[in-house]
Amino acid sequence: MNISERKKQILKSIVENYIETAEPVGSRAISEGLGLSSATIRNEMAEMTSLGLLEQPHTSAGRIPTSLGYRIYVNELMRSHMLTISETEEINKSLKIRMEQLDKAISDAGRLVSELTNYPAYALAAVNTPVTVRRFDFIQVDPRTLIVVLMLSNSTVKNRLMNLTRPLDEGFLLKLGAVFNANFTNCPESEMDSTLISSVERATGDIYGISASIASFAIRALSETENKKAFVAGASHILEHPEYRDWEKAHRLMNYLSESENVFRLPVPEDNSDVKILIGSENVAEELKDSSVVVAKYELGAGVEGLLGVVGPTRMDYAKVAASLSYIAKGMKALVDGKENHLPVLGNEKSADE
Amino acid sequence: MNISERKKQILKSIVENYIETAEPVGSRAISEGLGLSSATIRNEMAEMTSLGLLEQPHTSAGRIPTSLGYRIYVNELMRSHMLTISETEEINKSLKIRMEQLDKAISDAGRLVSELTNYPAYALAAVNTPVTVRRFDFIQVDPRTLIVVLMLSNSTVKNRLMNLTRPLDEGFLLKLGAVFNANFTNCPESEMDSTLISSVERATGDIYGISASIASFAIRALSETENKKAFVAGASHILEHPEYRDWEKAHRLMNYLSESENVFRLPVPEDNSDVKILIGSENVAEELKDSSVVVAKYELGAGVEGLLGVVGPTRMDYAKVAASLSYIAKGMKALVDGKENHLPVLGNEKSADE
DNA sequence: CTTAGCACTCTCGACGTAAGAGTGCTAGCA
DNA sequence: TGCTAGCACTCTTACGTCGAGAGTGCTAAG
């Protein structure tokens, strides 16, 4: 979109004023800041309205940005936000999560984002390489109790306690280990079918009826690991924003976010970009047409990558939200690399301002 | 509270009518149902208002029950609700959860309750016996990688992958196992202090610097297991109820529920009772003074017990909510006992009606 | 003790009005 | 030609009035 520099400055003032006050902004409100008379600004506003960058709730109200208006602001005018020292300190402190429990780490990251931005946040993780069992181990606790330990190809370990109906013979345990390690390791979930299982059952001469349980445990462990996980935090924050004071709007959005299938369908940043921003009508889901989504990608090594996002009104503090998300997403990566004391510091590298 | 049988019937009609319509109920509305003229009912209503069982939003409106009015309804008048066949089937189906992951089972139960009742639900679990490590095992994956497997006294198993800076000597692993099993088993978290750890470090002659990691892993595993867990599901349901159409009320309650410390402080049923109901002002927390809480206790064996509760407006369908909670709480117990096809069927055992 | 009747009170929605905000347009000025 | 002061116009919002409707409390009669 090619518009004059002056129009851009006016648009910028309108967007920032509107983000702050949540009220349609009139020509007078920004005339001083720009050193132009309100009449001049009115003329420009009228043109921008017909260009589709601004709209009026009604004839005698000020202007508010359209999705397109926000889009231009985000692409060309937004000055990248600088997190305060105390904010980065808070993030750094919170990020020192115990990473053993992947789920918890991810949901905590979501919570952190939500608290920081005061918008509902979501976090999701997916494993993008097929996972296999790398190794089976069996620990005999007592004659009728067995612990099955699986080491998976992504370096996670799963275990399960199993009870037997009759005392276990030691030789059987060795055979069980040999057969499972020979047949099931490096075998993706999809190939673990019933014929494989029954052939293993024969090979071990299983009189305890336990091979099938072990196999199904392995299958479940793999599918659990490969399954996507979604967490939503701070959904109630949307009630703080005037655009959701209407309970039906709030309810619709909260309902949408409480279904994890919907969360999985939220947008994904392009590979080359840091943060993706979808504004209002740019969203495909009907329920999000008057909300915006800001999302960042993070990696956790071991083939795990995921998204960290924020949902809020189109009148969102995009600069701050994008900065926070980007910082936290990078921080998660750094955490895994063990450099938790060297978190990146976001600067003005993306400034489009003078 | 000693009031005439007729007053009770009137109170019952008022409560049930109000639960259904959410509008103050006038004398005319219930006169036919009881075979009394509206004037008579008005007289009774006036007395019950001065007794504190009813109140009027304003002079010319109908009556609504006070907390005390609901209390009498719940204690003496409520007819225990019969779940429909399809409801019990839905519950039974949903309850066949994979119980391996305690957390998931509990949060799923909360979700189920919320879906069934259309109120926000919470689920929490606590281990009420001290947990210890019953057994340490070490699996060597490769010279520099080790899996530590802990079997805890409550029959859960925890594991952790550890990387070493130098290749592992086999004899060391055996010694490690011997020392840990001798010193740390049956030892509650509180006694695993630094002096014990350093004495173990000496005993193993640990040149890998790994004893401390194992010990701290064990400590964390115990504290994680003993820690209470809280889940809240379906918080957005409150927006469906007219008493929370005011966004500030809704926000206050949702905020309250999003803090897990608050959830832990919610009421606990007495030992002899099935379900505990706290109505409006009976709640201690300021944020719940105009809401009600219904809570049931469940047990999961292995010393795990927890609460399953519902939060909603005082105008709540107590009968149905109590029935659902009680059914599900019993169902969870039955599940663990392996009787998943013999879930209890709730009847009218608590009817106080004719 | 119950109930029909009635006057009274209070809420709620409709309506009209005035104030205020912001616009678009016109005309004058650099 | 571009900027701006001024003004008439439009639309929202708040406010007050008014009448309808709902429900009550009281009284008096059965």
Q: Is B298 helix (H, G, I), strand (E, B) or coil?
A: strand
Contacts of B221 in chain A (CB under 8 A): none
Last residue in a domain, options A208, A226, A244? A226
In window 48-67 of B, residues with CB < 7 A from nucleic chain D are 49, 56, 59-63
CA distance A157 to B147: 8
Same domain, B102 and B139: no
In a domain, B246, yes or no: yes
Contacts of A247 in chain B (CB under 8 A): 239, 244-245, 247, 250
Which pLDDT belongs to residue B168?
A: 82
The tokens describing B28, both together, are: 């005319």
Q: Phi, psi at residue B31, to the nearest 5°?
A: -65, -40
CATH label of the domain that carries residue B52: 1.10.10.10
Q: Is A278 helix (H, G, I), strand (E, B) or coil?
A: strand
**CB of A291 within 8 A of CB of A306?**
no
> In the sheet that B157-163 helps form, which strands lie side by side, from edge to edge?
B133-142, B145-152, B157-163
Looking at the DSSP assignment, which residues form a beta bridge with residue B122?
B232, B309
pLDDT at A252 over 90: yes
**Among all residues of chain B, which has the CA nearest to that of A256?**
B236
How buried is residue A89: exposed, middle or buried, by Cβ count under 10 Å (0-12/13-18/19+)?
Answer: exposed
Total number of domains in chain A: 3
The tokens describing B318, both together, are: 């107590």
Mean pLDDT of A128-149: 89
How many helices (DSSP H) and strands (DSSP E) are in chain B?
A: 12, 10
Same domain, A319 and A273: yes
Interface touch A234/B100, C-beta < 8 Å? no
**CB of B145 within 8 A of CB of B345?**
no
pLDDT at A48 over 80: yes
pLDDT by residue (tens digit) across A295-308? 999 988 767 889 99
Which pLDDT belongs to residue A190?
A: 81
Nearest-by-Cβ selection for A147 from B151, B239, B240: B151
Q: What is the pLDDT along chain B (354 residues), one digit of tens a residue?
A: 689 999 999 999 999 999 999 999 999 999 988 999 999 999 999 999 999 999 999 998 999 999 999 999 999 999 888 899 999 998 888 887 665 567 788 889 999 999 999 999 999 988 778 889 999 999 998 888 889 999 988 788 888 888 888 888 878 888 888 889 988 888 888 888 888 888 888 887 777 778 888 888 898 888 888 888 899 999 999 999 999 998 999 999 999 999 999 999 999 998 777 899 999 999 999 999 999 999 999 988 767 889 999 999 999 999 999 999 999 998 887 776 554 333 333 333 332 232
Nearest-by-Cβ selection for A147 from B157, B235, B250: B157
In a domain, A196, yes or no: yes
Same domain, A212 and A240: no
Helix (H) or strand (E) holding A145: strand A145-152
Which pLDDT belongs to residue A99?
A: 59
Q: Is A47 helix (H, G, I), strand (E, B) or coil?
A: helix
How buried is residue A316: exposed, middle or buried, by Cβ count under 10 Å (0-12/13-18/19+)?
Answer: buried
**Lookup: nucleotide whose C1' is closest to A28 CA:** C22
The tokens describing B15, both together, are: 């409560």
Which pLDDT belongs to residue A347?
A: 31
Interface touch A157/B160, C-beta < 8 Å? yes
Nearest-by-Cβ selection for B245 from A135, A137, A247: A247
Which pLDDT belongs to residue B302?
A: 67
In a domain, A266, yes or no: yes
Same domain, B178 and B222: yes
Same domain, A214 and A276: no
User: CB of residue B59 closer than 7 A to nucleic acid strand C?
Assistant: yes
Cβ within 8 Å of residue B152, ≥6 positions away: B131, B132, B133, B134, B158, B221, B222, B225
| Summary mean pLDDT of chain A | 87
DSSP state of A288: G
Q: Is B147 on the interface with A (CB under 8 A)?
A: yes
Q: How many CB atoms lie within 10 A of CB B188?
A: 13
User: Could you tell me which of B76, B68, B109 has the C-alpha nearest to residue B91?
Assistant: B109
In this structure, what is the dihedral angle of CA atoms B278, B284, B286, B289, given to the nearest 10 degrees?
20
In this structure, what is the dihedral angle of CA atoms A173, A178, A184, A186, given to the nearest 10 degrees?
130
Between A47 and B341, the higher pLDDT residue: A47
Which pLDDT belongs to residue A183?
A: 87
Strands (DSSP E) along chain B, which ranges? Answer: 54-55, 64-65, 121-127, 133-142, 145-152, 157-163, 229-233, 275-279, 291-299, 304-313
**CB of B266 within 8 A of CB of B307?**
yes
Same domain, B113 and B55: no
In a domain, B126, yes or no: no
Last residue in a domain, options B226, B250, B279? B226
Q: What pairing do the DSSP bridges indicate for beta strands B54-55 and B64-65?
A: antiparallel
The tokens describing A235, both together, are: 């959904």
Same domain, B273 and B316: yes
pLDDT at A243 over 50: yes
**Lookup: nucleotide whose C1' is closest to A38 CA:** D4
The tokens describing A49, both together, are: 């309205």
Distance A43 CA to C26 C1' (A): 13
In a domain, B342, yes or no: no
Domain containing A170 equals 133-226
In a domain, A331, yes or no: yes
Same domain, B114 and B245: yes
Q: Is A135 on the interface with B (CB under 8 A)?
A: yes
Residue closest to D12, CA→C1'?
A60
**CB of B151 within 8 A of CB of B133?**
yes
Cβ within 8 Å of residue A150, ≥6 positions away: A133, A135, A136, A137, A157, A158, A159, A217, A218, A221
Residues in chain A: 354
User: CB of residue B30 closer than 7 A to nucleic acid strand D?
Assistant: no
What does R_g of chain A's alpha carbons equal in angstroms? 27
Same domain, A274 and A326: yes
**Among all residues of chain A, which has the CA nearest to that of B111?**
A258
Q: A22: alpha, beta or left, given left = phi > 0 and alpha = psi -120 to 50?
A: left
CATH label of the domain that carries residue A201: 3.30.390.60
The tokens describing B276, both together, are: 């505990």
Interface touch A149/B139, C-beta < 8 Å? yes
Which pLDDT belongs to residue B353?
A: 30
* Residues B200-205: contacts with CB under 8 Å, at least 24 apart: B203/B179, B204/B172, B204/B175, B204/B176, B204/B179, B205/B172, B205/B175
**CB of B101 within 8 A of CB of B95?**
no
Mean pLDDT of A229-235: 94
Which pLDDT belongs to residue A345?
A: 36
**Among all residues of chain A, which has the CA nearest to that of B162?**
A155
CA distance A46 to A55: 9
Interface touch B98/A220, C-beta < 8 Å? yes
Same domain, B269 and B194: no
Which pLDDT belongs to residue A351?
A: 29
User: CB of residue B22 closer than 7 A to nucleic acid strand D?
Assistant: no
Q: Phi, psi at residue B306, to the nearest 5°?
A: -160, -175
The tokens describing A109, both together, are: 């990251």
In a domain, B11, yes or no: yes
Same domain, A240 and A330: yes
pLDDT at A205 over 80: no
Helix (H) or strand (E) holding A138: strand A133-142
Same domain, A329 and A269: yes
In a domain, B316, yes or no: yes
Between A236 and A202, the higher pLDDT residue: A236
Interface touch A157/B159, C-beta < 8 Å? yes
